[in-house]
């Protein structure tokens, strides 16, 4: 039995608006980490609020541990759901010490168990030396760890995290990604993470769900989401993707940059749009090449190059920083995709 079961959840905040969440279904197993990724307004936070019990669904089912939390006849309040939540702003009590903030979530336990659990969570998040400090005396990363310890202290069935790293700088964010992953794995906690950061989602989650206008477009392992996007939206939203027109022949898919395998299995004669990732493109400096370098961004170990093809279409490419290519140079373009992703053409191109 799945620990978390969401079935056909729908939520409208106004009868005249489109649903904030539309027919949303998802299951999470014990100890699984799932990230919800999508643009602003796609329904990510609404999904968390429906699970936590801060909002009531218009339709659908929320079940945790086999028990119905919300459906057309049932609605349990947040405190009865066994769910922990870490908010974007941490929501720490400024007048309480670190130890007291963590203990607040354990107030229903007997004093001895509360003390042991409090001490254990301080050690788990590495804040034992800071137990007597107040939130304003801590760094952003330390405050985030306090919020995490307070949410995990009661041993929730599911931990919900709403963009918990958005207020941290890049270096601290990378550190907290690893710390969160380690803590969740050590405790075996089932977690649902909302984020707008693709790198964060791919680094932490076992599976990633892509939301668009309230609907779940795809749910799968990070590698599946990146390499085998189910829709154009997923392809464009996750990573950088260019689309080139192609025609299916007996030999494969003919494109402007060469013949590609017809691994999707389209019938001969089908017009398609082939997804090309920057890491699928190789550039060979060639004064007689039919592609022109438009721009070059140096990024240390690699360069990010924008290339114009004879048709006027542009594609992007990651290349080693040792490759000598500059705007105005010409190059030969080779496509080396590990596999081919293509969609039916949305408009005629021949």
pLDDT digits (tens, 9 = 90+) for 86-141: 887 778 889 999 998 888 878 777 778 778 888 888 888 888 999 999 999 998 88
Which domain-ending residue is among 236, 266, 289? Answer: 236
| Confidence at residue 175, expressed as pLDDT on a 0 to 100 scale | 79
Report how far residue 294's alpha carbon sits from residue 81's, in angstroms, rounded to the nearest whole number.
55
User: Beta strand pairing status for 314-320 and 302-308?
Assistant: antiparallel
Q: Residue 348 — pLDDT band, cuts 50, 70, 90?
A: low
What pTM does this model have?
A: 0.88
Nearest to 272 by CA among 217, 222, 235, 312: 235
| Confidence at residue 126, expressed as pLDDT on a 0 to 100 scale | 87
Which domain-ending residue is among 236, 264, 280? Answer: 236
Domain that holds residue 209: 4-236
Q: Are residues 8 and 111 in the same domain?
A: yes
Q: Which two tokens stand for residue 104?
A: 């607040």
Cβ-contact 83, 156 below 8 angstroms: yes
Write the CB contacts of 188 (distance below 8 Å, at least 6 apart in sequence): 30, 31
Q: Give the chain's domain count.
A: 2
Q: Are residues 147 and 226 in the same domain?
A: yes
Q: Angle at which helices 170-187 and 140-152 pack, to 10 degrees?
A: 20
Q: Are residues 206 and 271 in the same domain?
A: no
Mean pLDDT of the chain: 90
| Confidence at residue 196, expressed as pLDDT on a 0 to 100 scale | 87
* Average pLDDT score over residue span 262-288: 93
Q: Are residues 226 and 251 in the same domain?
A: no
CATH code of the domain containing 322: 2.40.50.140
- 202 within some domain: yes
Q: Are residues 161 and 288 in the same domain?
A: no
Q: Are residues 268 and 285 in the same domain?
A: yes
| Confidence at residue 349, expressed as pLDDT on a 0 to 100 scale | 53
Q: What would the 3-class secondary structure string for 211-237 be?
A: EECCEEEEEECHHHHHHCCCCHHHHHH
Cα torsion 30, 39, 142, 78: sign: negative
- 350 within some domain: no
Q: Are residues 206 and 321 in the same domain?
A: no
Side-by-side strand order, sheet with 281-285:
281-285, 330-335, 291-298, 302-308, 314-320
Chain segment 218-249, per-residue pLDDT in tens? 999 999 999 999 999 999 999 889 999 999 99
Q: Are residues 219 and 244 in the same domain?
A: no
Q: Are residues 219 and 282 in the same domain?
A: no
Q: Are residues 171 and 290 in the same domain?
A: no
What one-character DSSP code corresponds to residue 18?
A: P
* Average pLDDT score over residue span 52-58: 96
Which domain-ending residue is among 236, 268, 285? Answer: 236
């Amino acid at each position: 039995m799945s620990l978390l079961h969401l079935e056909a959840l729908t939520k409208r905040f106004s009868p005249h608006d489109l649903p904030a969440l539309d027919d949303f279904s998802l299951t999470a197993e014990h100890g699984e980490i799932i990230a919800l990724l999508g643009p602003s307004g796609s329904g990510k936070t609404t999904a968390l609020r429906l699970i936590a019990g801060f909002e009531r669904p218009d339709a659908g089912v929320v079940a945790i541990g086999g028990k119905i939390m919300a459906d057309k006849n049932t609605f349990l309040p947040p405190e009865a759901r066994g769910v922990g939540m870490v908010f974007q702003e941490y929501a720490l009590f400024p007048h309480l010490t670190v130890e007291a903030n963590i203990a607040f979530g354990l107030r229903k336990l007997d004093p001895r168990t509360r003390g042991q659990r409090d001490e254990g969570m301080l050690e788990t998040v590495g804040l034992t030396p800071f137990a007597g400090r107040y939130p304003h005396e801590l760094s952003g990363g330390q405050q985030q760890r306090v919020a995490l310890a307070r949410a995990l202290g009661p041993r929730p069935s599911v931990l919900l995290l709403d963009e918990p790293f958005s207020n941290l700088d890049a270096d601290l964010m990378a550190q907290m990604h690893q710390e969160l992953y380690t803590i969740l794995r050590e405790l075996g906690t089932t977690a649902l993470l909302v984020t707008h950061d693709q790198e964060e989602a791919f680094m932490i989650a076992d599976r990633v769900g892509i939301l668009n206008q309230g609907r779940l477009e795809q749910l799968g392992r990070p590698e599946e989401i990146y390499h085998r996007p189910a829709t154009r939206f997923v392809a464009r939203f996750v990573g950088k993707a260019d689309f080139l027109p192609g025609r299916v022949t007996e030999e494969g898919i003919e494109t402007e940059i060469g013949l590609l395998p017809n691994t999707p299995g389209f019938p001969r004669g089908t017009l398609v749009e082939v997804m090309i990732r920057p890491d699928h493109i190789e550039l060979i400096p060639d004064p007689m090449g039919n592609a022109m370098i438009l721009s070059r961004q140096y990024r240390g170990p690699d360069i990010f190059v924008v290339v114009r093809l004879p048709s006027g279409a542009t594609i992007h490419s990651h290349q080693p920083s040792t490759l000598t290519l500059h705007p105005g140079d010409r190059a030969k373009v080779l496509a080396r995709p590990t596999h081919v992703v293509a969609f039916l053409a949305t408009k005629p191109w021949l």
